Amino acid sequence: MNPDNIRIVLVNTTHPGNIGGVARAMKNMGLRHLYLVAPRDYPSEQAVWRAASATDILDSAVVVPTLHAAIGDCQFVVGTSARTRRIPWPLLGARQCAERIALASAREQVAILFGREDRGLTNEELQVCNLHLNIPTSDAYSSLNLAMAVQIVAYELCMLASTTELPDSEVDQWDAPFAALHDMERFYTHLEETLVDIEFLDPAAPRQLMSRLRRLYNRVRLDEMELNILRGILTETRKWVKRARAGKP
């Protein structure tokens, strides 16, 4: 596991004290990279007060306006989710997910996303993830503080780093790096445009087609060479459609 390749990403955090609490939880467990996506109130003295001796995490935090700016260069993205989705995504508990994160971080940039205090991550934000992480709670009181959630995940990663001999990552035996998120997003745009061109996808009634295709490719994880091959196929497909509509051989 390489902690330098793991970033904690907080999306639209409302309370600055939670940002400070997250910084403290991260430093407790040896994580250093904090990204803040459009926080409502930051910088803030309350965040500094809650961070206690972890103000260096706040000082180096990266504040960005969009989620894509925070994770575009990542190859493996995990989103925390507390509720069942209409289209189920690969879902693991904190311990199992930490194992996947630890393996990926050996060679890849990994992001762990935590959503808004009141409603978590949106469906659109969760659809960019390779895995969803769920922390089970009591039915009697299921609300989990943001810093607590980060602490649980960070603890599982810390335990792996200190006590477990991890097996080789799948990327160690692979012949090409896995595709970064910003390249995957370009692929999804290209794929959707092509499906519209061949009239497989009706923009007026898309149903859940692109969501299910995202789930498929995020689950499989394309490497850069595979992604280039698929983009080439899409490009040639669109050329043939254009020729056919123009009546050209």
- CATH node for 3-171: 3.40.1280.10
Tokens of 163: 């006590």
- Tell me how far apart the alpha carbons of residues 203 and 226 are, in angstroms, rounded to a whole number: 27
pLDDT of residue 246: 87
Kindly state the DSSP code that residue 44 receives in the 8-state scheme.
-
Question: DSSP state, 135?
Answer: -
CATH class given for the domain over 174-246: mainly alpha
User: What digits encode the pLDDT tens for the residues 141-174?
Assistant: 877 899 999 999 999 999 988 765 555 555 556 7
Q: For 19, phi and psi rounded to 5 degrees?
A: -65, -45
- Looking at the predicted structure, is the pLDDT value of residue 82 above 90? no
**Confidence at residue 139, expressed as pLDDT on a 0 to 100 scale:** 83
* Full strand arrangement of the beta sheet holding 33-37: 62-64, 33-37, 6-11, 110-114, 76-80, 131-133, 91-92
Q: Is the pLDDT of residue 66 over 70?
A: yes
pLDDT class for 129, splitting at 50, 70, 90?
A: very high
Q: What is the pLDDT of residue 167?
A: 55
Domain assignments of the chain as residue spans, ordered by start: 3-171, 174-246
pLDDT (tens digit per residue) in 218-244:
998 999 999 999 999 999 999 999 999
How far CA 152 is from CA of 51, 98, 177, in Å, comes to 17, 10, 29
